[in-house]
């Protein structure tokens, strides 16, 4: 898993709450 993928996942998760 790339670091960018993790950051993107966390960003989307943050938007969901």
Residue 1's pLDDT is 79
Residue 17's pLDDT is 78
What pLDDT digit, counting tens, does each position of 1-17 carry? 799 999 999 999 999 87
Q: pTM of the predicted model, to two decimals?
A: 0.16
d(CA 10, CA 8): 5
Helix (H) or strand (E) holding 6: helix 3-16
3-state secondary structure of 1: coil
């Amino acid at each position: 898993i790339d670091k960018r993928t993790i950051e993107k996942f966390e960003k989307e998760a943050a938007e969901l709450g």
